[in-house]
Amino acid sequence: MMGHHVSDGVENKELDAASLPSSQGHSIYKVGFPQKRNFFREFKDALKETLFADDPLRPYKDQTGSRKLILGLQYLFPILEWGRDYNFSKLKGDIIAGLTIASLCIPQDIGYAKLANMDPQYGLYSSFVPPLVYALMGSSRDIAIGPVAVVSLLLGTLLRNELDPVTEREEYIRLAFTATFFAGITQAALGFLRLGFLIEFLSHAAVVGFMGGAAITIALQQLKGFLGIRDFTKNSDIISVMKSVWGSAFHGWNWQTILIGSAFLAFLLCAKYIGKKNKGLFWVPAIAPLISVILSTFLVYITHAEKHGVQIVKHIEKGINTSSVNKIYLTGSSAMKGFRIGLVAGMVALTEAVAIGRTFAAAKDYQLDGNKEMVALGTMNVIGSMTSCYVATGSFSRSAVNCMAGCQTAVSNMVMSAAVLLTLELITPLFKYTPNAILASIIISAVIGLIDYEAAFLIWKVDRFDFVACMGAFLGVVFVSVEIGLLIAVSISVAKILLQVTRPRTALLGNLPRTMIYRNIEQYPEATRVPGILIVRVDSAIYFTNSNYVKERILRWLRDEEEQLEAKQLPRIDFLIVEMSPVTDIDTSGIHALEELHNSLQKRNVQLVLANPGPVVIDKLRLAKFTELIGDDKIFLTVGEAVMTCAPKAREDA
Amino acid sequence: MMGHHVSDGVENKELDAASLPSSQGHSIYKVGFPQKRNFFREFKDALKETLFADDPLRPYKDQTGSRKLILGLQYLFPILEWGRDYNFSKLKGDIIAGLTIASLCIPQDIGYAKLANMDPQYGLYSSFVPPLVYALMGSSRDIAIGPVAVVSLLLGTLLRNELDPVTEREEYIRLAFTATFFAGITQAALGFLRLGFLIEFLSHAAVVGFMGGAAITIALQQLKGFLGIRDFTKNSDIISVMKSVWGSAFHGWNWQTILIGSAFLAFLLCAKYIGKKNKGLFWVPAIAPLISVILSTFLVYITHAEKHGVQIVKHIEKGINTSSVNKIYLTGSSAMKGFRIGLVAGMVALTEAVAIGRTFAAAKDYQLDGNKEMVALGTMNVIGSMTSCYVATGSFSRSAVNCMAGCQTAVSNMVMSAAVLLTLELITPLFKYTPNAILASIIISAVIGLIDYEAAFLIWKVDRFDFVACMGAFLGVVFVSVEIGLLIAVSISVAKILLQVTRPRTALLGNLPRTMIYRNIEQYPEATRVPGILIVRVDSAIYFTNSNYVKERILRWLRDEEEQLEAKQLPRIDFLIVEMSPVTDIDTSGIHALEELHNSLQKRNVQLVLANPGPVVIDKLRLAKFTELIGDDKIFLTVGEAVMTCAPKAREDA
């Protein structure tokens, strides 16, 4: 029989554990065994919890066939669901929001395309088709789809490692579409296979650092356009860029360019500041870029500044996206390169889009199915890759504007898309005289928002390890390159996971005087140890990754304690109580480690006692006959009961 | 102020949580804050716990310089430590054990070399130098060093993927030494950098399956020698081998070979059985292989059976190891190949050696420093690669014999090494007439021991997921190849880790009647829920990998509960208590998730309450101002206290 002794009327006495009578005979509760479950049931449940944690099939239960089909279609195309409740007042909100983000995205798109080393029209293309596809399939109401700075930079860097964007222009564009295609395939596959949780392997801290570093890198790159430098480094690290900038300080800078750039940058930053101070004026920073473009283009056109060294866009294709189906490499080494690049860019794009979606869904309190979002984003990029678009995703800044401008549904993306269509068809030729310095100013003022120094400061305050991860990614991007920064971010995240699974925490517990409560003696200095008994809590499931460590760490606690007791000539330890409450699971390696622990303890004449093993653990311990090995009466419901039973014995021995 | 109310004298009353008075004013304990620690101190402690969990520098504290040097040398060469206490009685034990394992290893070595597609003498070489090096540097007393079946097979398979062992023999041997060199470098580096815990990423279950599968594959390969088939498949999967065997059934089998093989296999298995039944006769199976070799060689020699189709060893080089320093590739693609192969073979060899070392250390209760062992094993293989040896490691079967034969120290390895030296110098030419069938029989009888069906059965009983891992590795090796099996084993192990970090368990808690104890209601059906309060326990640290899941899972518990309550027309949930005891740590993503949880709950008019956050968690929650957000008085020392405070309020609302 397992002896489990509920503490009867002890909490209101001054409790000296060692003097307590063993309350044998008062047992009310035993450590419970869960009902034996069928293997396949168990397996199914675990699989469901892993892959279908959000229970997406719930609405389909008890439905007829045709209803299931409708629900299925609605699942794939949420527009069928929310479209039925759509009305004029929503449309009004969506039109205003859509036009606002369009005015923001058009100048940004042209600039971001340059980050990806592509012609300006490709940025606009990517703001036309992908938002339409997303509007049909996506379930976020607030996200604004299109090219974004970080992904454009990353894609541009990865592509340039393979091909030269100037001399091998045709192949470069083809590889970009190939990468976009595979980015979409990767995203959709992750969602479809319900492996979306994999994107959570980038820790928040690493993302903050990476984004901040990328923003600085992008801003530095803009110095080329901003200062009018013609001969600029191809490296993106701060040292190369600074050398380029200083090296051309006396002959390469163009004062007209700097003048235009600075004036409009000041204007943009002022607009940003106004929008921040007064939330009602959110539209000021939203339309400021377009106004800058219009004004500066007009200015250049009438002053012929392009003849005084002010660089302009020069050429931008008119008309909408052409088909690029034939340009995608599907075989050979180019396809492999495209796949590798697409995988990386797609994952980063996904991380950003899902983070945005979740943020706004939480703010407006609606549910967002991450896996479904991935399928939508993936499909959007696959279709994009066939219509001359490069990787699109959700933009932080534009989504915020979208939300503030009162968007109601994904229709705002459609409105934006229509505005981009009109731009492409009608006014792109006018962008010919747009000075590059303006685009640089727009990008600089946009990416400044990505430097989340408040988050970095909070990370510094709360968790110093996270801060190391954050800074690692940041410095990696700024001082080496965007890929290295990403690699550092991923490595640190993985290292943190490894640390978590190999080195679980353990704690010594003590009794809070006048209670039956046992707590970590580091946290509660008033907690007192019980003579002759060592109480250790293991704070993790015991698996193959940590079983040896757990065993050896417990033995080390014992060894340290025994040394101290010996030095003080106090009675030795007779019982080692392992508080198992946090040990939610154990595998065969873990059980093996417990057996070895038991053997080692027996050789030292210390009795192993377990407190509160959970349902899974007690079940497995019983099946492995470990309960028989240490004796059923060595397993208690609480530490308090274990101490009550052990303490008198420990005293006798002393 | 944080309100934490210790339950005074309630455990001996019939406790109806909802009717309890809120014990405001009786607070004795608050949730404790740990002392603020210096960042570098914290970082140092974490680093130490990760890399120096076994505190190897402890003996060096407070020692003089020269004493430190001696201790350092003793650390590197444990022989300097145990050598001083060495005496004649220990020597006696070691000589007997050493001779016993020598008689076992000589015939095995010749056979195992063939598994690696190498000439027989290389097996003997690898039993000469490596054991000597290990004896100087290793700290296990029982391990028997030399070539082993699984590593030989793995090395042979990986090498043959690159080069043909017959037509490119010279390069093949060179690549084998290169792989051995890098295997040693890998092993030593892991130990030196104290990254030994990485080998724990292969789960016990996966290793059991892999070993069993490898044993069957090796046994199947022996059918070539055992049946005297000349034309045998080069694939190792069971289907190819069986086709080869049946395909040559009528013309390729050699009855004389089968007769000799079967007779001696029967003899070996009998000897094994005797040794198993009577532990005192352990030497019977230990010397049986050598006796078989001597008898069968003599038999072939006098009957000239080699002229009747019985295949013999034919050629075996006489003399000890020659230097192979110049044969190791250090640059170029061959070095890269060697590195890759060495990495895999070295890791598998390490896993085996460390498992053996730990098993015997636990049985005889002495400490073994895994990282130090790795340095010893690595050095041994590096030196081995320069003296014509291939990857050596600890052998399960020979170590067991070594232990049973009464070995006292690593001197038994030296004795074995000396015996192998004499063999190489004096009697190798006699092995010329040894029939291959005998070597096949010896290998078959040796590898049978690697099929640990008892462990597999225990795994099946205890943990069905582990069993899937075990079978996956087993079937992968048997039906595809040894690399695929290893890949499956590693993949399943990694998947298990991912599962652990992304999908922690959560549980609903209920009150055990007449106590203040709250337990999982699945484990304790008698546990009752408290009206208006939902109590959820999160069973893991909350990190970026699982923070979203934890948040959404808690909300799902709430949603499910509310649906049920609504259906039953019971009062709604007012308080959600999260039992934080098992939450040992939290990072910025985790805090963010808690904030989102709090926001979602507020929108539903549910109050978030925390119970018993640990030292690290409460500290970070305070720094991130989360405690201010939910209110200090919403954090309690125990679930019981939280319920006592919340229950009356929940009642009022109802």
Q: Is B61 on the interface with A (CB under 8 A)?
A: no
Measured over the CA atoms of residue B523, residue B528, residue B534 and residue B535, the dihedral's sign is negative
User: Which ranges constitute the DSSP H helices of B22-76?
Assistant: 39-51, 65-76
Whether pLDDT at A147 is above 60: yes
Band (B15; pLDDT cuts 50, 70, 90): very low
B29 vs A8, A203, A512: nearest CB:
A512
- Picking from A360, A368, A450, A446, the residue whose alpha carbon sits closest to that of residue A400 is A360
Q: Which residue from B minimizes the CA distance to A600?
A: B365
pLDDT at position B10, please? Answer: 36
Across the interface, whether the CB atoms of B589 and A204 are under 8 A apart is answered yes
Whether pLDDT at B313 is above 50: yes
Q: Residue B202 carries which DSSP code?
A: S
pLDDT at position A25, please? Answer: 35
Across the interface, whether the CB atoms of A523 and B197 are under 8 A apart is answered no
Whether pLDDT at B652 is above 80: no
Q: Which residue from A minimizes the CA distance to B550?
A: A53
Residues 6 or more apart whose CB falls under 8 angstroms from that of A341 comprise: A155, A158, A159, A162, A175, A179, A182
Q: Which residue from A minimizes the CA distance to B201?
A: A545
Band (A53; pLDDT cuts 50, 70, 90): low
pLDDT at position B346, please? Answer: 94
Q: Which residue from A minimizes the CA distance to B579?
A: A582
Whether pLDDT at A474 is above 90: yes
B474 and B485 in contact (C-beta within 8 Å)?
yes
Band (A33; pLDDT cuts 50, 70, 90): low
How many CB atoms sit inside 10 A of residue A88's CB? 6
Coil, helix or strand for A359?
helix
* Residue limits of CATH 3.30.750.24 in chain A: 17-38+503-653
pLDDT tens digit string along B361-413? 877 877 778 888 999 999 999 999 999 999 999 998 899 889 888 899 999 99
Report the alpha-carbon distance of residue B306 to residue A424 in Å, rounded: 87
Reported as half-sphere exposure (CB side, CA atoms, 13 A), residue B637 has a value of 24
- Picking from A486, A199, A233, the residue whose alpha carbon sits closest to that of residue A352 is A199
Q: Residue B478 carries which DSSP code?
A: I
Whether pLDDT at A13 is above 50: no
Band (A195; pLDDT cuts 50, 70, 90): confident
List, edge to edge, every strand of the sheet that includes A607-611. A518-520, A506-511, A533-538, A575-579, A607-611, A635-636
In the block, tokens 């970095």 appear at A456
Q: Which residue from A minimizes the CA distance to B598?
A: A362
Band (B653; pLDDT cuts 50, 70, 90): low
ipTM, 2 dp = 0.79
The architecture that CATH gives domain B17-33+503-653 is 2-Layer Sandwich (3.30)
How many CB atoms sit inside 10 A of residue A78's CB? 22
Whether pLDDT at A305 is above 90: no
Residues 6 or more apart whose CB falls under 8 angstroms from that of A175 comprise: A159, A162, A163, A329, A334, A337, A338, A341
Please state, for a pLDDT cut of 70, what percent of chain B lies above it: 91
Window A:526-545, CB contacts with B under 8 Å: 526, 539-541, 543-545
Average pLDDT over residues A533-554: 89
pLDDT at position B24, please? Answer: 38
pLDDT at position B22, please? Answer: 38
pLDDT at position B527, please? Answer: 86
Gyration radius from chain A CA atoms: 32
Report the alpha-carbon distance of residue A654 to residue A569 in Å, rounded: 12
In the block, tokens 């049978």 appear at B448
Whether pLDDT at A443 is above 80: yes
pLDDT tens digit string along B198-228? 777 778 888 889 989 999 999 998 888 888 8
Burial classification of residue B288, based on how many CB atoms lie within 10 Å of its CB (0-12 exposed, 13-18 middle, 19 or more buried): buried
Q: Which residue from A minimizes the CA distance to B499?
A: A50
Least confident of A259-273, A332-346, B108-122, B637-651: B637-651
* Residues in B touching A638 (Cβ below 8 Å): 517
Secondary structure E strands in B364-411: 393-394
Helical pair B370-385 and B129-137, crossing angle rounded to 10 deg: 150
Q: Is B577 on the interface with A (CB under 8 A)?
A: no
Whether pLDDT at B127 is above 50: yes
pLDDT at position A404, please? Answer: 86
pLDDT tens digit string along A421-432? 999 998 888 888
Q: Is A360 on the interface with B (CB under 8 A)?
A: no
Question: How distant is the alpha carbon of residue A582 from its chain centre?
Answer: 26
B519 or A648, greater pLDDT: B519
pLDDT at position B504, please? Answer: 86
Reported as half-sphere exposure (CB side, CA atoms, 13 A), residue B238 has a value of 12
Whether pLDDT at A520 is above 90: no
* Residues in A touching B553 (Cβ below 8 Å): 53
Across the interface, whether the CB atoms of B620 and A463 are under 8 A apart is answered yes
In the block, tokens 């043909």 appear at B164
* Residues in B touching A463 (Cβ below 8 Å): 587-588, 620
pLDDT tens digit string along A200-220? 777 888 888 998 999 999 999
* Residue limits of CATH 3.30.750.24 in chain B: 17-33+503-653
* C-alpha distance from residue A10 to each of A2, A515, A635 (Å): 21, 8, 20
Whether pLDDT at B170 is above 70: yes
Whether pLDDT at A7 is above 50: no
Average pLDDT over residues B19-31: 45
Q: Residue B28 carries which DSSP code?
A: -
In the block, tokens 């040693």 appear at B184
Distance of residue B524 Cα from the nearest chain A Cα, in angstroms: 5
Distance of residue B466 Cα from the nearest chain A Cα, in angstroms: 7
Coil, helix or strand for A41?
helix
pLDDT at position B342, please? Answer: 95
Band (B56; pLDDT cuts 50, 70, 90): low
The secondary structure element, H or E, covering residue A506 is strand A506-511
At B114, list the tokens: 């063939």
Average pLDDT over residues B303-323: 85
B584 vs A55, A200, A539: nearest CB:
A539
Report the alpha-carbon distance of residue B299 to residue B197 in Å, rounded: 51
Q: Is A192 on the interface with B (CB under 8 A)?
A: no
Rounded mean pLDDT of chain B?
A: 85
B612 and B636 in contact (C-beta within 8 Å)?
yes
Residues written for chain B:
654
Whether pLDDT at A4 is above 80: no
B14 or A397, greater pLDDT: A397
Residues 6 or more apart whose CB falls under 8 angstroms from that of A651 comprise: A18, A531, A532
B399 and B450 in contact (C-beta within 8 Å)?
no
Coil, helix or strand for B608?
strand
A362 and B602 in contact (C-beta within 8 Å)?
no
Average pLDDT over residues A269-290: 87
pLDDT at position B654, please? Answer: 56
Across the interface, whether the CB atoms of A543 and B12 are under 8 A apart is answered no
At A388, list the tokens: 């001359």
Whether pLDDT at A68 is above 60: yes
Average pLDDT over residues A47-65: 71
Residues 6 or more apart whose CB falls under 8 angstroms from that of A512 comprise: A518, A519, A524, A526, A527, B6, B28, B29
pLDDT at position B384, please? Answer: 96
pTM over 0.90: no
Least confident of B29-33, B191-195, B455-459: B29-33
B41 or A321, greater pLDDT: A321
Average pLDDT over residues A593-603: 90
Does the structural domain A17-38+503-653 have CATH classification 3.40.50.2000? no
Side chain identity at residue A410, one-letter code: A
At B140, list the tokens: 């296990």
pLDDT tens digit string along A323-357? 999 999 998 899 999 999 999 999 999 988 988 88
pLDDT at position B37, please? Answer: 60
Band (B143; pLDDT cuts 50, 70, 90): very high
pLDDT at position A54, please? Answer: 67
Report the alpha-carbon distance of residue A117 to residue A162 in Å, rounded: 13
Band (A472; pLDDT cuts 50, 70, 90): very high
B18 or B509, greater pLDDT: B509
Q: Is A45 on the interface with B (CB under 8 A)?
A: no
Report the alpha-carbon distance of residue B467 to residue A594 in Å, rounded: 20
Whether pLDDT at A29 is above 80: no
> C-alpha dihedral over A343, A346, A348, A354, to 10 degrees?
-140
A466 vs B461, B514, B588: nearest CB:
B588
pLDDT tens digit string along A155-185? 999 999 899 998 999 999 999 999 999 999 9
A507: phi then psi, degrees, rounded to nearest 5? -145, 150
Report the alpha-carbon distance of residue A174 to residue A555 in Å, rounded: 61
Q: Is B466 on the interface with A (CB under 8 A)?
A: yes
Distance of residue A5 Cα from the nearest chain B Cα, in angstroms: 11
* Residues in A touching B581 (Cβ below 8 Å): 581-582
Q: What b/e sequence results for B126-147 when a residue is b if at least 16 CB atoms lie within 10 Å of its CB, and e otherwise?
A: bbbbbbbbbbbbbbbbbbbbbb
Report the alpha-carbon distance of residue B434 to residue A144 in Å, rounded: 78
Distance of residue A618 Cα from the nearest chain B Cα, in angstroms: 10
B113 or A69, greater pLDDT: B113
Question: How distant is the alpha carbon of residue A532 from its chain centre?
Answer: 47
Report the alpha-carbon distance of residue A29 to residue A27 in Å, rounded: 6
* Residues in B touching A461 (Cβ below 8 Å): 623-624
Average pLDDT over residues B264-276: 90
Whether pLDDT at A460 is above 60: yes
Across the interface, whether the CB atoms of B464 and A43 are under 8 A apart is answered yes
Q: Residue B6 carries which DSSP code?
A: -
- Picking from B650, B541, B552, the residue whose alpha carbon sits closest to that of residue B601 is B552
The secondary structure element, H or E, covering residue A301 is helix A283-303
Window B:319-358, CB contacts with A under 8 Å: 358
Whether pLDDT at B12 is above 60: no
Whether pLDDT at A20 is above 50: no
How many CB atoms sit inside 10 A of residue B441's CB? 30
pLDDT tens digit string along B271-305? 989 988 888 888 888 889 889 999 999 988 898 88
- Picking from B495, B450, B454, the residue whose alpha carbon sits closest to that of residue B472 is B495
pLDDT at position B6, please? Answer: 39
